[in-house]
Amino acid sequence: MSLNHLTTDKRRDMGAAAMRTFPNIVRDWGLQEKEAAVLLGVSDSTYRRRRKAPDSARLDVNHLERMSLLLGIYKALQILLPSSEAADTWLRRPNQNPLFSGQAPLDRLRQGLVADL
């Protein structure tokens, strides 16, 4: 089902769950608050407010999609790489895959998360 077709209550519940989980990913990836806000597509103050009160976070469809993609990346890295440390540092290591052109994946994500995925 498309995120656009979810009820307001369902989107609110999904947003709250995502905002309870995302700070753990931010911690594991060693992201600064500003980096986390950029990946989520919000201002620093909006991210800070949502992080402090996740159950009242109202994520629109765009932010829910971004959150879904970030959670998917986190899960895939944890499954595919041999250790949590390797998974958590992968985003910051330069990558020679043509998709990344020698950049760290985090640099690509900062440029446009949804478009790159």
pLDDT in tens, 51-84: 888 888 778 888 888 899 999 999 999 999 999 9
The answer to whether the CB of 37 falls within 8 A of the CB of 49 is no
- Tell me what the mean pLDDT of segment 97-111 comes to: 87
**pLDDT of the residue at 114:** 52
Flag whether pLDDT at 1 surpasses 80. no
Inside any domain, residue 108: no
* CATH number for the domain that contains residue 26: 1.10.260
**pLDDT of the residue at 77:** 96
Inside any domain, residue 114: no
Q: Is the dihedral of CA 109, 114, 116, 117 positive or negative?
A: positive
Domain range enclosing 8? 3-92
Inside any domain, residue 77: yes
**pLDDT of the residue at 31:** 94
pTM for the whole structure: 0.85
Q: Into how many domains does the chain fold? A: 1
